[in-house]
Structure 1
């Protein structure tokens, strides 16, 4: 196959779909790899590093889209790239189509075979989403701590507190990979941490791990409301694979929340955890709803691209190689790859997307 990797054009996205070491594995397996000029620079990878490992540097991204059998990206294509889609192109990237109907329609119309990292499932885990969830979870606490500063309109609380002063109260909604990593950072920064989830086994795991350093609550409406209203920091870490995020922060809660409290909405890729959620960018990441701050950056791991690109490639490479080596028909016999399939032959094939967009 010809494997193409174009430069990410989403605002302030510095990750790259293929690192030099990952690209070299495709070359070693007998495939041709085209890398857009400067695609890796944001993550610290030079064109020369790719060329030294047998990749071809191509200046024109349109040529890569036109000539590749499979495009490997990080983020979903933007509207300006829809015209570059072609029939039977294999697109292997994060897509988050549940909150992006126009992209879903474009992939169908152009008959693109799309495989989304975020729904690929192995033993009830999401191996290609997990590393970026880890990054986003850890960053969520760092960003919350920063934007809790009074200069940004936050409450002015120091997350760890000091002797004789209160520590920040952190409420983490969801005990999956994002929530567990947010918890790790919040405990390390000595906050008062409460984690909510529907899965009591996950809560038990966290209690065993952190002993008496955290509180855990079953995620029902009463517990959610109480934990949200008491919080200085709320982390929205709920994920329903391939589906829109549930709106767990109710509109009526906002006037009752602490002035200057902040909601870091890691679920924003799937529509967000509140009706007020909206996508923001690294240069202007927060907005206010009443007296509550919202942080809605949809590509949080893009701010630490050296770590994120490497971790992402570690997770996605083996499946990408399987597609390239075996061809798509044989590769789709692997249930992990099959679970990532979103569109094919002009049809939507992922059950949640059919429910969302085809049964209106």
Structure 2
């Protein structure tokens, strides 16, 4: 018996990327992302500009996603959208569009938690990528979040560790800003780090109890270190960029890996999945692969395009919610903050 095709249109607009995807059951037929370059000159995302750009992008992005998937609107079974967390103005563009389209087509509407989607992105049917078995541990790392989650089933997740202040992505981006690198700086730190000496400049690791994280102290430490060295030598950053980036990245990865090692020890769960924008970082990916060999874990690293904000991950949650008939009525509201 062949599985009945279920077509989900998914919309993601939590921050500054307008994304739409079409899934047939667990398989991605199209995954389209329109990036917003308008924020680069401001050194960070400007919420008002982000929501305006979403309004301009959403119709063409959905249109391209449907065309690439080669299906018509009338074949859709449901529309999934990001409910939160995220920037309120950005979220409202996606939810308003999803509601209008679902109402016009008279099909179910499915609200999705963005962080849950980063974790369940591992369940997209993708050749060459294994899916974790429940229960597993998920390390979700992005510009706004740093969490260790115990994942018991698709919809039973428990946060067992999280940041008490800044997220890891913010630590990368702020460090890049201190070094005078353009926004978004995280990927540039990674690029320079690959050619530098990670032990050139030792930074102190914060002492945070349990499985929680803290990155604000490290950020301050990096700022004071750079200020002191540039006061002594104005060409310090220029001459040591690769080593500084490698040292920062090494410290951040050490913080993450120490906590995930502790979580494995505490829970006895040896399946570890990473997700979120920062999981695109090459140093973190390598550290996870090394831990797999060294500690006998099974690690799961998503396909690159499913790490940063994308609609395919919203679609896979939508598909599993569709199977469970977990639909929302049209009074569902977007939320800037939302628990997992």
**Structure with the greater relative contact order (CA < 8 A, sep ≥ 6): 1 or 2?**
2
Question: Normalization by structure 1: what TM-score?
Answer: 0.31
Q: Which has the higher helix share?
A: 2
Question: Normalization by structure 2: what TM-score?
Answer: 0.32
